[in-house]
Chain A
Amino acid sequence: MLFKCLMGVVVLGASAFWSAAPVAESEDAGTYSIDSGHSCVLFKVSHLNVSNFYGRFNEVSGTLTIADDPTQSAIEISIPTESIDTNSKDRDDHLKGSDFFNVKEFPTLSFKSSKVEKTGAGFRVTGELSLHGKTKEITFDATHTGHGESGRFGYRTGYEAKFTIQRTDFGMSYLTQMLGDEVTIMVALEAVKG
């Protein structure tokens, strides 16, 4: 009896583990389109070394390719820099201008993965981030936030990631005394299969 109970716990535990492990499931495998309306790209930057300021990009598009073998998975994201939103038109216009994003010359911020590895709790993604005319390799950890059939909304999956870049690495070196060099980017993606 005791043996059966122990076996039951082991089986329950294993099934719980596998339901939390995202890309190992064949039902999740496939190509997904990012749903801009239900995805968020936020950024955080220090202002005057006093507080942290948060802003966002209102549009994001791209694809997630999820394979049973995580190393075959891939992600491509494209964000129009024009979609930056900090709840102030004046500040948005300043950020869109030549002091920062220079959206007329560099209208897109993009990321393309080159390697995806499975880690204990999620994935480690390496790829090239292109911003302000510069491309740099970055690595960040991503976690799977959920997946499932959503009726007429289709089969969906979600991921989150948070990473830090130095804006001066991307040629955005103006006013670093006032606005921090380090920018934390938080991404929450919801993507629909097919």
Chain B
Amino acid sequence: MADLVVQEVVKTAVIPAAAVWVACAVGSGRKDSIRSLLVGAGLAAGYGVSHSLIAGVPEVPPAESLQWFPLIAGGAWLWSLVVSRVPRGASWIPWMLGAGLVAWALIGRLTYSDPKVEWSWIGGSALLLFALWGPGIKERPASSSVGVLAVVAGVAAGVAILNHSAKISQLGGVLGAGLGAAALLQWWRPNGRVTRDLLRVGQAVMGALVIYLDRYLETPPRELCFLVAAWAVAHLESLPKVRAMSPRRSLVVLTLFAGLLGAVAILFGYLRRQAEPANPYGY
């Protein structure tokens, strides 16, 4: 049993964190834009390896919705390369398109009796993702979003386990570990330009996780709202008061605030599970 726990910890935490750190070490001394690409690739690759070890190697085209996750991670990194060549004013267009693709990839696999309902969910989810992705899309010198997103991925893992999915919980943990490793580096040497591509990869996978929690695991709205609210904390980075803080301080403050909102989501889930009758079948 101890061996099994060690194996799962390696798959869930060690691989993605090591991938980010190795990418950062490889990029050391290079231009920020190159380091950003390498760190983004590190997260995408680390996530892909861990995902394959946990949920199986993805097929192309994906045989099930979960197999989209590593493709979304890799796709977001490539998308980031493309978007960096798009004129600044128009860069929201490919990101809007990307949000639509993520929503379509996951929601499009479900069966809805009315196509209008299906397209409403796809459209609504794409708009939500686009709104949440904001801080990752824009160029920012600060780095607080990485910490916020790391905590939100950890919260998603907790919410998933409270909604009967150990696999999704583990995949949330993988993302949290990769982003957490980057957040530690940011705390040590804050430089938001280095985490730009990593943030884009992380936000794309996080978007897929939120859609999965909602549409597939039917997470109660209360828990989902607090999870999304925790993610939205990243937007506070643009407040003058937060911008006036040192990068380290803003990273800690926003991460803690996101953690507080996330803790409420987990608390609601825990209380709901406690209130469930032990044997609702009444045998």
- Contact surface of A with B, Cβ cutoff 8 Å: 87-90, 93-94, 96-99, 102, 104-107, 132-134, 171, 173-175, 177
Contact = CB atoms under 8 A, between A and B. Distances in A.
A89 B65 CA distance: 24
Nearest to B167: A99
18 contacts: A87-B281, A88-B279, A89-B280, A97-B216, A98-B66, A98-B168, A98-B217, A99-B167, A102-B216, A104-B218, A105-B109, A105-B110, A107-B111, A171-B63, A171-B64, A174-B54, A174-B55, A174-B167
B239 interface: no
Contact of A94 (B63, B164, B280): B164
Contacts of B216: 97-98, 102, 104-105
B141 interface: no
**Most B CB atoms within 10 A — which of A97, A132, A171?**
A97
A145 B118 CA distance: 46
A133 B64 contact: yes
A175 B64 contact: no
B167 A177 contact: no
Contact of B64 (A88, A94, A99, A102): A102
B56 interface: yes
Given A98-B167, A107-B111, A177-B4, A133 B63 contact: yes
Contacts of A96: 164
A97 B283 contact: no
Contacts of B63: 133-134, 171
